[in-house]
């Protein structure tokens, strides 16, 4: 029991430090007390002399950060404000990238570097072409409109995988209220021939997803609630077969009492999971070893919805957290 109490005290102390920090003026003594080590393996992930930074604040619910190394910019969504924002590394300036944005949520880049976006408004998956025009890749399955595509990942074969949990139609806050026309699912879209296939309908609210560095596994988050059919609080990992289907789904990492949302892997196979519900002391990013052990937490004063690695060497972790954008320079590189 003493060990558990000590762990709870450390967690609370790290969160309280993040909550009480003056993000505008305060100088943080290293190591940053808001970065909590749960397992010695976490030392390979974080620098002793790096602190969490708040880069910007002023949104309503931030999501979907994606890094553009060729222009040294981060683009992310502010869903309720129906806009996408841009942070420029060279100057630190934040500007509007797109407004209206179709209540955009998750973003990534395809194998040709083009922006892929999940939109709640038109309930579609789109691609932004090199000239800035927007191509609708998919907006319905078997003649029925998607609920509200949420998060997205791209496979080396060009396949675009995305989740459709339906949050964009549950109210008028992140889209337009409507009744769902389809079950909650994970889909794979093939841009080569335009085909669309169901890859999973086993989860209550399939949300964040990402591939392992070798693309042999897919990690998936369920943001449903206990009692929902198919709900799984633990992170789930699947084997990817032939690049097009999933097999052998099993629990990977335990998030309780929190829930995850967006997820990313580093190049060594660790999973970095945004946390934005459950105890406020668990808000931030939880880091899991490839064996599923939670090894560290980056505590934030706000619920974290999604994250992305970026910077010149993919060693800067960007975190979209409620109203603010945060960053931390880490030892590892994003996959």
Rounded average pLDDT over 150-166: 97
pLDDT band at 143 (very low <50, low <70, confident <90, very high): very high
Residue 34 contacts residue 328 (beta carbons within 8 Å): no
Rounded average pLDDT over 160-187: 97
pLDDT at 277 over 80: no
pLDDT at 81 over 70: yes
Question: Which three-class secondary structure state does DSSP give residue 13?
Answer: helix
pLDDT at 13: 75
Beta-carbon-side half-sphere exposure of residue 313 (alpha carbons within 13 Å): 6
pLDDT at 307: 98
Distance CA 7, CA 171 (A): 38
CATH number belonging to the domain at 105-252, selected among 3.40.50.12780, 2.120.10.30, 3.10.20.30, 1.10.3720.10: 2.120.10.30
Strands 245-251 and 140-141: unpaired
Question: Of the given ranges (1-15, 256-270, 316-330), which has the lowest mean pLDDT?
Answer: 1-15
Maximum distance among all alpha carbons in the chain? 60
Beta-carbon contacts of 243 under 8 Å, excluding residues fewer than 6 positions away, are 155, 156, 157, 159, 215
Task: Calculate what percentage of the chain has a pLDDT beyond 90.
Answer: 84
pLDDT band at 258 (very low <50, low <70, confident <90, very high): confident
pLDDT at 331 over 60: yes
Distance CA 219, CA 212 (A): 7
Cα dist. 105→163, 239, 258, 268 in Å? 11, 26, 21, 27
Question: Of the given ranges (109-123, 243-257, 312-326), which has the lowest mean pLDDT?
Answer: 243-257
Phi, psi of 230 (to 5 degrees): 85, 0
pLDDT at 232: 79
pLDDT at 132 over 60: yes
Rounded average pLDDT over 18-33: 86
- Write down how long the chain is: 335
pLDDT at 278: 61
Q: What is the pLDDT of residues 30-73, one digit of tens each?
A: 999 999 999 999 999 999 999 999 999 999 999 999 999 999 99
- Taking Cα atoms as reference points, which of 55, 23, 87, 62 lies closest to residue 322? 62
Lookup: tokens for 56: 């910007």
Q: What is the pLDDT of residues 282-306, one digit of tens each?
A: 899 999 999 999 999 999 999 999 9
Distance CA 168, CA 162 (A): 14
Rounded average pLDDT over 220-245: 89
Q: What is the pLDDT of residues 163-175, one digit of tens each?
A: 999 999 999 999 9
pLDDT at 256: 81
pLDDT at 25 over 90: no
pLDDT at 6: 59
pLDDT at 1: 43
Q: What is the chain's Cα-based Rg?
A: 19
Sorted by where each begins, the domain ranges of the chain are 1-76+267-272+289-335, 105-252
Average pLDDT, the chain: 93
Cα dist. 95→30, 99, 115 in Å? 31, 11, 17
pLDDT band at 2 (very low <50, low <70, confident <90, very high): very low
Helices vs strands, H then E, count in the chain: 1, 27
pLDDT at 18: 84
Lookup: tokens for 215: 């693309």
Strands 124-128 and 259-265: unpaired
């Amino acid at each position: 029991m003493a060990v558990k109490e000590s762990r709870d005290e450390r967690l609370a102390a790290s969160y309280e430090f993040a909550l009480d920090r003056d993000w505008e003026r305060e100088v943080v003594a290293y190591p940053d007390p808001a970065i909590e080590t749960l397992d010695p393996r976490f030392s390979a992930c974080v620098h002793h002399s790096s602190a969490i930074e708040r880069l910007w604040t002023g949104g309503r619910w931030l999501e979907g950060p994606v890094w553009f190394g060729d222009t040294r910019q981060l683009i992310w969504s502010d869903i309720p404000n129906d806009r996408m924002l841009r942070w420029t590394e060279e100057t630190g300036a934040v500007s509007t990238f797109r407004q209206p944005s179709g209540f955009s949520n998750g973003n990534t880049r395809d194998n040709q570097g083009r922006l892929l976006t999940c939109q709640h408004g038109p309930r579609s998956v789109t691609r932004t072409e090199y000239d800035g025009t927007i191509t609708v890749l998919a907006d319905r399955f078997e003649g029925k409109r998607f609920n509200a595509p949420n998060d997205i990942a791209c496979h080396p074969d060009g396949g675009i995988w995305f989740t459709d949990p339906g949050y964009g139609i549950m109210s008028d806050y992140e889209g337009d209220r409507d009744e769902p026309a389809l079950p909650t699912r994970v889909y794979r879209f093939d841009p080569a021939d335009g085909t669309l296939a169901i890859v999973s309908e086993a989860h209550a609210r399939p949300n964040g997803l990402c591939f392992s560095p070798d693309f042999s596994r897919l990690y998936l988050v369920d943001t449903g609630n206990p009692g929902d059919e198919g709900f799984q609080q633990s992170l789930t990992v699947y084997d990817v077969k032939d690049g097009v289907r999933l097999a052998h789904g099993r629990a990977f990492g335990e998030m309780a009492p929190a829930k995850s949302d967006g997820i990313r892997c580093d190049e060594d196979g660790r999973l970095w999971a945004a946390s934005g519900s459950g105890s406020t002391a668990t808000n931030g990013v939880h880091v899991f070893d490839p064996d599923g052990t939670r090894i560290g937490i980056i505590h934030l004063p706000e619920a974290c919805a999604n994250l992305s690695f970026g910077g010149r060497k993919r060693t800067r972790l960007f975190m979209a957290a409620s109203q603010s954008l945060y960053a931390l320079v880490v030892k590892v590189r994003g996959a």
